[in-house]
Amino acid sequence: MSPHSSLAVLKKGLSVLKETVKKRRDALIDRLKKDDPKDRLTADKEAWLDNDANQVEEDAVIEKLERASDYERGLSRLDTKEIGLVERLKALAGEVAEKVADKVSKKRKRPEERKDFVRTGKTADVEPVFTHKENAEQGNKWWR
């Protein structure tokens, strides 16, 4: 696998992660801005905002791999937590690719309401009869 394609896959996964986190984070921040006692955030949601919503570690892993002279060498220098982040980003990018592949394959399939071919007019029900048979012999050459 070439390093550019691997890094591109990781960057695609990071962009998908950022989009999903941004939607959820914006909704939670809007709830915080209301100052309504009913809409207070739970401790779990506050912890999510502080930890999981932060993609600094994912950005740092991609920067390490970009700075490495070789993609495989860069992977070998990562610790287990960073390797887990790489696998997560690959999985996110793979889900996007699968969705795109499903859309393309559906376009190429036949439509369900396809009408079967119906013959019109007179058709031959019997085999044709050949009346003259020519064998390829020495004497049948036309150029002589």
pTM of the full structure: 0.57
Question: 61-70, 114-123, 126-135: which range is least confident on average?
Answer: 114-123
Half-sphere exposure of residue 16: CA atoms within 13 angstroms, side-chain side: 17
Calculate the alpha carbon distances from 144 to 121, 135, 136, 141 in Å: 45, 16, 14, 6
Assess if residue 39 is contained within a domain.
yes
Residue 141 above 70 pLDDT?
Answer: no
Assess if residue 91 is contained within a domain.
yes
Assess if residue 46 is contained within a domain.
yes
Assess if residue 64 is contained within a domain.
yes
Assess if residue 77 is contained within a domain.
yes
> Which segments within the chain are labelled E, that is strand?
none
Q: Which domain holds residue 52?
A: 3-107
How many Cβ atoms sit within 10 Å of the Cβ of residue 44?
Answer: 8
Length in residues, the chain: 144
Higher pLDDT, 95 or 8: 8
Band (pLDDT 50/70/90 cuts) for residue 2 is very low
Average pLDDT over the chain reads 75
Residue 25 above 50 pLDDT?
Answer: yes
Assess if residue 10 is contained within a domain.
yes
Assess if residue 8 is contained within a domain.
yes
* Domain count along the chain: 1
The mean per-residue pLDDT over the stretch 12-32 comes to 86
The mean per-residue pLDDT over the stretch 115-132 comes to 66
